[in-house]
C-alpha cells in the first residue's frame, strides 16, 4: 500500500445488504482508486455513533435523517450532516407463516407480530405505514423481547408469532428455509422516503475536504455500479461481508431491493423523500415541528463530484 494512502473509518448502524451502495464502496475497490483504504464495521453496542464522529475516531457513518431530527428536537447543536442517500425506501418486510395471494394490512389486527425492535425508526416507519392503511397498532398483539433482527428471526423460526417484521437478508433466510413467506413490503406501501444515508460532521467536511470528496467520488461510482450490475454480481461481490449467509439468499435479497427501486443513481437525498421522513417522525411523536431540509442535509459534496 502506498505510504500516501490514507484510511477512512466507516461505520454502520446495522449490517445489512440493504446498504449495498455503501458496502460496495469498500468491497469493490472504489475507495482504493481514490487513494483511500478503509475500515468498515457496525458501531459497537452501547456506543454513540454521533459522538464517535464528533471525536474524530470515525469519519462517516450510515444513519438516517430521522436520527438527526431527534437530536435537533433535543436541542443538540452541530448535528452531523447527511451528505449521501443510501436508501430511498423502507427495506423491511412482513413475513408470515402461510403464503397469501392478497394480503391486506388489516389482517395484522388480532394477529401476533414480532417487530424489529433493535432501533426506533423501523417500528416508527411500520406504524406510519399502518396508520396510512387505517390499521390500529393497538389491535396488533406485539411480541415483546427481541432486541435485534437476528433475535426476531430466531423467535419466528422457533414458532413464536403469526408474523415477523424483518430487513434482508434476514427475511429472505426464513423464506429460503421454507420457514416463512413474504406477505408485504413496507417500502412498497410507503413509497419514497429518506430512510438511510451517510453522515459526516461539518468539521470533517471543512478540515478534510480532499478525503471527503475522495469518499464521495467513490460512493457515487458505487451507486452507479449497483444500479448497473445484476443481483448475482452484487451478491457475489459482497458475499465476504456476510459470512455464513447463503449466496442465493443474498442474491434474492438484492433482487427484491432492486425491484423496490430502493437505490438511487446519485448521492443527493430527494427533498420529497426527506419530507416523508419528517412526516413519519411527526407521526411517531419524536419531533414537534417540521425541520427544514437544510438543517440536516448538505448537498454540496455530492454536487461537487457530480459536476
- For residues 30 and 71, the answer to whether their CB atoms sit within 8 Å is no
The residues near 163 (Cβ < 8 Å, ≥ 6 apart) are: 94, 95, 96, 97, 108, 111, 112, 113, 114, 183
**First-residue to last-residue Cα distance in the chain:** 30
Residue 3 pLDDT exceeds 60: no
Q: For a pLDDT cut of 90, what percent of the chain falls above it? A: 91
The residues near 127 (Cβ < 8 Å, ≥ 6 apart) are: 137, 283, 284
Alpha-carbon gap, residue 185 to 129, rounded angstroms: 10
Rg (CA), the chain: 19
Residue 1 pLDDT exceeds 80: no
Residue 161 pLDDT exceeds 70: yes
**Residue-level pLDDT at 4:** 56
Cell numbers placing 134: 387505517
Instruction: Give residue-wise pLDDT tens across range 106-139.
Output: 999 999 999 987 778 999 999 999 999 999 999 9
Helix axes 120-132, 65-73, angle to 10 degrees: 100
**Residue-level pLDDT at 300:** 97
Dihedral angle of Cα 69, 73, 76, 81, to the nearest 10 degrees: 10
**Residue-level pLDDT at 2:** 41
Enumerate the H helices of the chain as residue ranges.
20-27, 30-33, 49-55, 65-73, 120-132, 149-157, 170-177, 186-190, 202-207, 209-228, 231-238, 247-259, 271-283, 300-306
Instruction: Give residue-wise pLDDT tens across range 210-224.
Output: 999 999 999 999 999
For every residue of 248-298, DSSP letters joined together read HHHHHHHHHHHHTT-S-SSSPPPHHHHHHHHHHHHHTTS-SSPPPGGGTB-
Helix (H, G, I), strand (E, B) or coil at 133: coil
Residue 146 pLDDT exceeds 90: no
Nearest to 137 by CA among 163, 114, 109: 109
Dihedral angle of Cα 286, 288, 294, 299, to the nearest 10 degrees: 20
Q: Point out which residues pair with 197 in neighbouring strands.
A: 63, 85
Indicate the pTM of the whole model.
0.94
Mean pLDDT for the stretch of residues 169-188 = 97
Alpha-carbon gap, residue 301 to 215, rounded angstroms: 10
Amino acid at each position: 500500500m502506498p505510504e500516501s494512502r490514507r484510511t477512512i473509518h466507516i461505520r454502520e448502524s446495522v449490517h445489512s445488504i440493504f446498504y449495498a451502495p455503501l458496502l460496495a464502496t469498500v468491497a469493490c475497490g472504489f475507495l482504493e482508486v481514490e487513494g483511500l483504504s478503509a475500515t468498515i464495521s457496525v458501531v459497537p453496542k452501547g456506543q454513540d455513533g454521533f459522538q464517535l464522529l464528533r471525536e474524530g475516531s470515525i469519519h462517516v457513518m450510515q444513519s438516517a435523517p430521522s436520527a438527526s431530527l431527534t437530536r435537533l428536537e433535543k436541542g443538540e447543536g452541530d448535528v452531523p450532516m447527511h451528505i449521501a442517500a443510501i436508501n430511498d425506501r423502507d427495506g423491511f418486510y412482513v413475513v408470515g407463516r402461510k403464503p397469501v395471494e392478497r394480503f391486506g394490512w388489516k389482517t395484522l389486527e388480532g394477529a401476533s407480530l414480532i417487530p424489529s425492535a433493535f432501533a426506533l425508526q423501523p417500528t416508527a416507519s411500520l406504524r406510519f405505514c399502518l396508520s396510512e392503511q387505517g390499521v390500529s397498532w393497538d389491535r396488533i398483539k406485539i411480541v415483546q423481547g427481541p432486541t435485534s433482527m437476528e433475535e426476531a428471526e430466531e423467535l419466528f423460526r422457533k414458532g413464536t408469532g403469526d408474523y415477523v417484521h424483518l430487513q434482508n437478508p434476514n427475511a429472505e433466510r426464513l423464506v429460503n428455509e421454507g420457514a416463512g413467506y413474504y406477505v408485504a413490503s413496507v417500502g412498497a406501501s410507503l413509497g419514497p422516503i429518506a430512510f438511510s444515508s451517510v453522515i459526516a460532521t461539518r468539521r470533517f467536511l471543512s478540515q478534510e475536504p480532499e478525503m471527503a470528496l475522495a469518499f464521495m467520488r467513490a460512493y457515487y461510482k458505487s451507486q452507479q455500479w449497483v444500479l448497473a450490475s445484476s443481483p448475482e454480481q452484487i451478491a457475489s461481490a459482497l458475499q465476504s461481508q456476510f459470512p455464513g449467509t447463503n449466496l442465493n439468499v443474498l442474491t434474492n435479497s438484492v433482487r427484491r431491493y432492486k425491484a423496490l427501486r430502493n437505490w438511487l443513481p446519485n448521492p443527493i437525498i430527494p427533498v420529497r423523500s426527506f419530507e416523508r421522513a419528517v412526516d413519519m417522525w411527526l407521526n411517531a411523536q419524536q419531533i414537534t415541528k417540521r425541520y427544514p431540509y437544510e438543517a440536516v442535509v448538505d448537498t454540496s459534496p455530492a454536487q461537487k463530484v457530480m459536476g
